[in-house]
Amino acid sequence: MKPLSRHYFVASSYTQSNPGEQFYMFSVIAAWLITLCGRSFETPQEYDDPNAIVSNILTHLRALGGLVEFPPSKLKSGSGEHVCYVLDRLAEEALNCRQFVWKRPLYPSEQLEEESVLEDDAELTLSKVEDLTEEAAEFEDVIDLEELKSRTSQSEERGQGPEMILQSVTDSAEWNLEIERVLPQLKVSVRTDIKDWRCHVSQMRQHQDGIKSSLKEAKAYLDKLLEEISKTQEKVSSREKYINTQLEHLITDYRNAQSKFCEVKELHQQASRGVTERTRTIAEINEELEKVKQEMDEKGSSMSDGVPVVKIQQSLTKLKQEIQEMDVRMGVVEQTLLQAKLKEKSNMTRDMHATHITEITTHTYS
């Protein structure tokens, strides 16, 4: 069996090419754990029925005391929360059956290596340079009198003796070799730190110089623009004053006319209110007048028109005809009833005579 990662059964993205592989691995591991618990379980094959495999695993899990509160179809994918739960429960039961006891972990003692900081003598840091400059300054402050006397005596001897051309005795090749040997020691490398305040100060000075230079250029344009704006503002104010002086009488006339217009407008509103009230009353009166006219027309038409009388006469004649028809029908019905009664009476008399004759004949024969 190939080694599996610890998150193999969490999701189905580990075996996208063969989705059935996860379910097969799950069934094989579950069968192995069940056999470790001391129960017989056949190792499932790759082409067995997954429903049967899942049902067998769940029955053994219930027998071992595990709670199954999910449908069996959740295990067919071979991954997910329920698959991890089943494997976890089976693993716990297998460890309990084997009487496995967890031991306390032993942590190895690690020896910390001491970091050795190597300083390069050829390169001088900024702090060393400052120390050297301070020492040199202190040394220069101390005046060596003997050295001064020797220097003055040498200068006097040189001044008294004849001037001679100085010639170098050293060889140029040896001089170059000495320069190459001493040159690395004379190299001063200053490591610029981002957090160094000197770097920030230099940047601030650079930005300040840039701001000053740009300010000089912009200030001229701004001053020129300010002058133009002030000139135009003065022109506008002077024009405004001139227009106000020229149109002052027109403005007063306009104000007077506007006040009169407001007064007339108020009067017009009051008059319009009265007109609306009067028009409403006129409309009400017209409605009442129309109603009265309709009533008068109806009464006049009813008094002068003879149509209702004609209708009454027609209805009376119609009633008379209907009464006559009813009388005829009643006579016919009475006649039919009388005939029926007479017929019934004749039948009864006939029956009575027949019975009497039969009685007489019976007496005679007896």
Last residue of a domain, one of 97, 123, 145: 97
Tally of domains in the chain:
3
- Is there a single domain that holds both residue 254 and residue 205? no
pLDDT at 58: 87
CA distance 38 to 232: 105
In a domain, 92, yes or no: yes
Confidence of residue 122 (pLDDT cuts 50, 70, 90): very low
- Is there a single domain that holds both residue 46 and residue 92? yes
pLDDT at 319: 92
Last residue of a domain, one of 35, 62, 97: 97
Residue labelled with tokens 């040159």: 183
pLDDT at 323 over 90: yes
Q: How many CB atoms are closer than 10 A to CB 20?
A: 14
Confidence of residue 9 (pLDDT cuts 50, 70, 90): confident
- Is there a single domain that holds both residue 35 and residue 78? yes
Q: Which of 99-108, 112-121, 215-224, 257-266 has the lowest mean pLDDT?
A: 112-121
328: tokens are 């005829």
Contact call for residues 126 and 191 (beta carbons, < 8 A):
yes
pLDDT, mean of residues 269-278 = 89
In a domain, 1, yes or no: no
In a domain, 275, yes or no: yes
| Non-local CB neighbours of 12 within 8 Å, separated by 6+ positions | 19, 22, 77, 78, 79, 80
- Is there a single domain that holds both residue 269 and residue 229? no
In a domain, 179, yes or no: no
Confidence of residue 13 (pLDDT cuts 50, 70, 90): low
pLDDT at 364: 65
- Is there a single domain that holds both residue 295 and residue 255? yes
Query: Which of residues 166 and 335 earns the better pLDDT score?
Result: 335
pLDDT at 228: 92
Q: Is the pTM of this model over 0.85?
A: no
Structural domain of 80? 20-97
pLDDT at 286: 92
pLDDT at 37: 85
- Is there a single domain that holds both residue 217 and residue 274? no
Average pLDDT, the chain: 78
In a domain, 64, yes or no: yes
Give residue-wise pLDDT tens across range 125-148. Answer: 445 545 554 554 444 444 444 554
Angstrom distances, CA of residue 188 to CA of 119, 121, 138: 14, 10, 21
* DSSP, res 163: P
- Is there a single domain that holds both residue 224 and residue 271? no
Q: Which amino acid is at 262?
A: C
In a domain, 83, yes or no: yes
pLDDT at 36 over 50: yes
* DSSP, res 73: G
pLDDT at 6 over 70: yes
In a domain, 230, yes or no: yes
In a domain, 9, yes or no: no
- Is there a single domain that holds both residue 58 and residue 83? yes
Last residue of a domain, one of 279, 299, 319: 299
